Chain A
Amino acid sequence: MKLFWGRQRSLSCLPIAIGMFTAYCLLLSACRSKEEKLPIFGERTANGTDTVFHTIAPFRFVDQDSAIITNESFGGKIYVADFFFTTCRTICPIMKTQLVRVYEETRDMPDVMILSHTIDPEYDTVALLHDFARRLGVESKKWHFVTGLRDSIYKIAQTSYFATAMKDQTEPDGFIHSGAFLLIDKARRIRGKYDGTKEEDVNRLMGDINTLRKEYGE
């Protein structure tokens, strides 16, 4: 009799337990979906009732295969952008080591690309960039190393990507530039900024790439 009682009590608890568990799950998923949106960087303006976000300005560069690279080359893709030069001995080698990690991590994601701009276009010719990419062991269809007019590279760095890039003779290599990686979404908006010389920050970038892909249902 006692046993029967005990069993009945535990059975009556079951629906409550299930209900609580479901509620907890719902709460958790609600919280998570709230977290899983990356911020949108830059100034925003209102156009009537629409919010207009800061976007990357149109560009036209040449990559390591002499192909013309424009905004359209990244149509329907998210990409990671950075600024470097091949003879840089300070932070660039670390940045490239970290970007190779991103490259390897996103190898099976055709919707993710990488765009590296040289800030020393006089020295970093197409042939040199081609050799650089080959030696790094990366494919040009996923990772474009681009060169172009120096002024247009510096301008897009500063006004579109909020990255510093300029000539400076007082620096050991003759340039100052930021070691930032920028995550750009399919609407050409900046969704994340990371220190490309720090492994933990690049781990965050790789997490954010997955978050952003989920936004697009990938």
Chain B
Amino acid sequence: MPENKRVVVGVHYLSRLALCLLPLAYCLLPFAYCLLLLLGCSRTDAKFQQYYVQGEQLYIKHCSNCHQKSGKGLGLLYPPLGPSDYMEKNFNDVLCQMKYGRKGFLSVNGQDFNQPMPGVRSLTELEIAEVATYVYNTWGHDRGMVEVAEVKQALDKCSP
């Protein structure tokens, strides 16, 4: 066999090998993509969990006296948090009320409430995001993570 012929055969084999590997690589691509996504997810998931757990503690400390641990409220005195059409429709207001409180009539699920709610001025933006992450992902709500930036934006509009 002449020398150059052998080289050609070698190249031929190499190209065939590459051709075989190509579909394999393409097959692996979605897997790699999924893996990356999963890693990303678990990172946001951990953050969500952290907010949620912290939020629950803060909720028990500052909110559950009236709204109850079950989020059901008490009679027509303290409105329920879940289900609550008010919460779904007034996200920014809810964030503000945690800090600054609220007075006057409030309609929740078609019923009027009129007990003034004291705000908790000491809550930081992070803490409000944590409480919001908790209340907006419990009792039937599934808004997902509430970011500090969202809280900041809402508070900027309502700070007295």
Contact = CB atoms under 8 A, between A and B. Distances in A.
Contacts of B65: 89-91, 93-94
Nearest to B68: A97
B118 A93 contact: no
B77 to A, nearest CB: 5
Main SS of chain B's interface residues? Answer: loop
A97 B66 CA distance: 8
A93 B76 contact: no
A93 B114 CA distance: 15
Given A87-B116, A89-B118, A132 B77 contact: yes
B39 interface: no
Interface string B86-118: 000000000000000000000000000111101
A137 B75 contact: yes
B66 A93 contact: yes
A93 B115 CA distance: 11
B74 A97 contact: yes
B118 A134 contact: no
A206 interface: no
Contacts of A87: 116
Interface in B50-77: 65-66, 68, 74-77
A91 B114 CA distance: 19
Nearest to B66: A93
Given A89-B66, A97-B68, A135 B75 contact: yes
B116 A135 contact: no
B146 to A, nearest CB: 24
Contact of B76 (A86, A91, A135): A135
Contacts of B74: 93, 96-97, 100, 136
11 contacts: A86-B115, A90-B65, A93-B66, A93-B77, A97-B74, A100-B75, A131-B114, A136-B75, A136-B76, A136-B77, A137-B76
Given A100-B74, A135-B76, 5 more contacts: A89-B66, A94-B65, A132-B77, A134-B76, A135-B114
